[in-house]
Amino acid sequence: GSGGFRKRKHDNFPHGQRREEKENVNPSSPLMASFKSFQLELDTRHDKYERLVKLSRDITIESKRTIFLLHRFTSAPNGEEILNESEVKLDAVRRKIKQVAQELIGEDMYQFHRAISPGLQEYIEAVSFQYFIKTRSLISVEEINKQLIFTAEDREEATNVTSDSQDKQPPTCSLKVTPVDYLLGVADLTGELMRLCISSVGNGDIDTPFELSQFLRQIYDGFTFIGNTGPYEVSKKLYTLKQSLAKVENACYALKVRGSEIPKHMLADVFSSKTELIDQEEGLP
Amino acid sequence: MSVSAMFVALQGALTADQDIREEIRKVVQALEQTAREMLTLLQGVHQGSGFQDIPKKCQKAREHFGTVRTQMESLKTKFPADQYYRFHEHWRFVLQRLVFLAAFVVYLESETLVTREAVAEILGIEADRERGFHLDIEDYLSGVLTLASELARLAVNSVTAGDYSRPLRISTFINELDSGFRLLNLKNDSLRKRYDGLKYDVKKIEEVVYDLSIRGLNKEATGGVGGEK
């Protein structure tokens, strides 16, 4: 009864009042003018962020494909060809990274770091994997950064692609990988190395696993040296890294103990069952 | 370079980074202390007797901003100028709080919205990113949204204190602010969440204005501070 009436009145009146006041808001007042400029500023910032996220996704996808390609290296007789192909792919990834670098000209890189970080980590994983296959050693941050300095001549074609209205640009632009991105990328690399180890055993290659376990141990030592001085994400990866290392060490152990007893052609079988066993253990809580 | 040498270098970089963060944290703690003192001071306006000496309280708060400026100066020296966003999280909260305090003081003094440039000046920082330690636009807007809820509270309390004209002026101000925020296309982030609260502040003030209107109290002479019974 009266409650309904009151409610209706309550609904109507402030509404009318408000509309009246809405009309009082002068669209050209200083406050409205400054909010119009805020709108522009925020939209520009969000657009840039979205473009970077998209580039980061593309970088991730292409880097993943490069890693898959490199995994075929061990089994394929045409190793050289695969390496060349991976180089072509990585060049394509770097062209994308150059677009990222161009977006970031004159900006604070850390403002947009969250947009590009996943892509960069994947790229670091791919490039360090390729570097390992080629040289059997770990690529340094400096080496990675050196490849991410882009010069003027290939800048032109990229500006055509993006068709940005920036007509004036510095002669070079570059992107610097942060230590944390590098560490996370390297931690992911160890997972790939573990896969490489198991698959090379499957191919009857008995030298690579030992080499890999040596290398992984060095990286693991490095990570334990850093310990918890790094950010949370790094310590989180340390656990997975330990598992990967254990798998590789167990593989080497099995090779050593049983390699001398088992005929070479049966090694692959021994290993496939061994890895299954490890996978099962991993499945347990 | 050997693997272990690389990790030693990386560890060095990480430790240096942590040292910087530690230094920043110290200054930010001092800033938070100053901000709390100012907040306590300005909270006084909500009390019945506080309405008379608003100018005095603003005066005192302005003195505190002097401390803020020296603390900001020291914060600026703690990290490389081009890495603002790397450490942004550390001072984000306190900066928003300070923006609110500056905006509140300016509102109490002149009943206008402080501009971004003016806040930057009050805090002793820059409005533009290009010129050094600056005030991020999202932090400015967050501070302004805090002002809106504070004003909604002030509208209620000024009625209690017998000042019936202030809610009307606050209402006009908040409505203009609301229209301003409507112009923005906000992403689904913390600022957007804060903005979603603005409508409740608007509603609260509208209710106060409504209560005054139906009792004919909005037509009374302005400046009825102290409450005529």
Residue of B nearest to A183 (CA): B10
Largest CA distance in chain B: 85
Q: What domains, with CATH codes, occur in chain B?
A: 23-135 (1.20.58.190), 137-218 (1.20.58.200)
pLDDT at B32 over 70: yes
Amino acid, single-letter form, for residue B12? G
- Higher model confidence: residue A257 or residue A50? A50
pLDDT at A78 over 60: yes
Q: What CATH number should be reported for the domain holding residue A229? A: 1.20.58.200
Question: Domain for residue A189, yes or no?
Answer: yes
Question: Domain for residue A120, yes or no?
Answer: yes
Question: Domain for residue A271, yes or no?
Answer: no
Last residue of a domain, one of A145, A161, A177: A177
A203 and A103 within one domain: no
Nearest to B4 among A18, A30, A218 (CB): A218
Side-chain half-sphere of A88: how many Cα atoms within 13 Å? 7
**Residue-number span of the structural domain to which A192 is assigned:** 179-261
Q: How many domains does chain A have?
A: 2
A196 and A101 within one domain: no
A202 and A135 within one domain: no
Per residue in B61-77, pLDDT tens?
A: 999 999 999 999 999 99
Question: How crowded is residue A71: how many other Cβ atoms within 10 Å of its Cβ?
Answer: 17
A127 and A84 within one domain: yes
**Range of A60-64, A106-110, B131-135, B156-160 with top mean pLDDT:** A60-64
How far is residue B62's CA from residue B109's CA, in Å, rounded to a whole number? 11
Kindly indicate the confidence band of residue A258, based on its pLDDT and cuts at 50, 70 and 90: confident
A136 and A185 within one domain: no
For the residues A239-263, what does the mean pLDDT come to?
82
Question: Domain for residue A104, yes or no?
Answer: yes
Question: Domain for residue A266, yes or no?
Answer: no
For chain A, say whether B33 makes contact (Cβ under 8 Å).
Answer: no
Among the listed residues A275, A59, A45, the one whose alpha carbon sits nearest the alpha carbon of residue B187:
A45
A53 and A121 within one domain: yes
Show the tokens assigned to B208.
């106060």
The answer to whether the beta carbons of residues B165 and B220 sit under 8 Å apart is yes
Task: Determine what percent of chain B is predicted with pLDDT higher than 90.
Answer: 77
Task: Determine what percent of chain B is predicted with pLDDT higher than 70.
Answer: 95
pLDDT at A7 over 90: no
Position A75 scores a pLDDT of: 63
Question: Domain for residue A82, yes or no?
Answer: yes
A130 and A67 within one domain: yes
Question: Domain for residue A283, yes or no?
Answer: no
Per residue in B11-23, pLDDT tens?
A: 999 999 999 999 9
Last residue of a domain, one of A177, A210, A232: A177
Nearest to B141 among A13, A38, A108 (CB): A38
How far is residue A50's CA from residue A121's CA, in Å, rounded to a whole number? 18
Assembly ipTM: 0.87
Show the tokens assigned to A224.
């334990």
CB-based contacts of A199: which residues, under 8 Å, 6+ apart? A71, A74, A75
Q: What CATH number should be reported for the domain holding residue A73? A: 1.20.58.190
- Binding site feature residues of A for Mg(2+): 125, 192
For chain A, say whether B131 makes contact (Cβ under 8 Å).
Answer: no
pLDDT at A215 over 90: yes
For the residues B127-153, what does the mean pLDDT come to?
91
Question: How crowded is residue B196: how many other Cβ atoms within 10 Å of its Cβ?
Answer: 11
The answer to whether the beta carbons of residues B63 and B105 sit under 8 Å apart is no
- Higher model confidence: residue A206 or residue A192? A192
- Higher model confidence: residue A278 or residue B205? B205
Show the tokens assigned to A116.
């590009």
Question: Domain for residue A79, yes or no?
Answer: yes
The dihedral sign for the CA sequence A80, A85, A86, A92: positive
Taking the CA of residue A223 and the nearest CA in chain B, the distance in Å comes to 7
3-state secondary structure of B61: helix
